[in-house]
Structure 1
């Protein structure tokens, strides 16, 4: 069996250094960047939900969350219904960094659009959807 798909994914990952470059430019780790992005989409998550969205164990996620709270990117919010549950959301500083991240994502997306025609972009999108569904 050929590992062509895995080889292509590995090559793609090596060439697409957006997250690492953006994180470094903002003084964040790639996991911290992922946490800010996840909260930008969801607005408010529990610690476990945020860790899961970042692809981390709850204990590792907790360390990243604490680092982001210490950096004033995130804040803890008590759950009115269950005091044992804490929600995490972006602070104004976190919102500011999210905008910078989204601006960098837009530049990366525009680069792809400038190098591929509409038909090629559609094929890429369809292929990515197939891969995501298969996983």
Structure 2
């Protein structure tokens, strides 16, 4: 293996681990101490709109509806989300953030904005396309790897 390959591998592995650990420290403040990093990502997937159905949220998170139901039960109990059934089809459950959930969403969104801005601020206009191409390649790898694992 050449030196550049080893360096890229080390940076990617360390970066993924650091992002996960630092994000948890940054977003789980005194106000949101009852949340986990996973809870915050469920809140992010629900978003701030009028509500989403459980199936679409589970797809976005790449988890089963059963796993999402467990997470939602906890978030409902903590008053971050509320559920209601569709009037047209009672089998369909919609989830919407409460005002407390919207505050958590905005807090998490701000952390991501700061992280992204810190990277963008270091780049000039010629470097941005290279970063976008690199991140696209990484996203393609993760998407393809995930599909391979499902087979």
TM-score category (smaller protein): 0.7 to 0.9
Match 1:39 to one of 31, 42, 46: 46
- Cα-to-partner distance string for 1:85-130 (whole Å, 9 max, x where unaligned): 1111111111121111111111112211233333333211122123
Scaled by the length of structure 2, the TM-score of the pair is: 0.73
Match 1:69 to one of 50, 73, 76: 76
Q: Does 1:89 align with 2:96?
A: yes
Matching residue of 1:104: 111
Aligned residues: 135
Matching residue of 1:22: 26
- Secondary structure in structure 2 of the residue aligned to 1:69: helix
Structure 2: unaligned runs, 5 residues or longer: 145-151
Scaled by the length of structure 1, the TM-score of the pair is: 0.80
**Alpha-carbon deviation of 1:77?**
1.8
- Flag as ranges the 4+ runs of structure 1 deviating above 4 A: 1-8
Work out which of the two has the higher radius of gyration on C-alpha atoms and give 1 or 2.
Answer: 2
**Alpha-carbon deviation of 1:40?**
1.4
| RMSD over aligned Cα atoms | 2.6
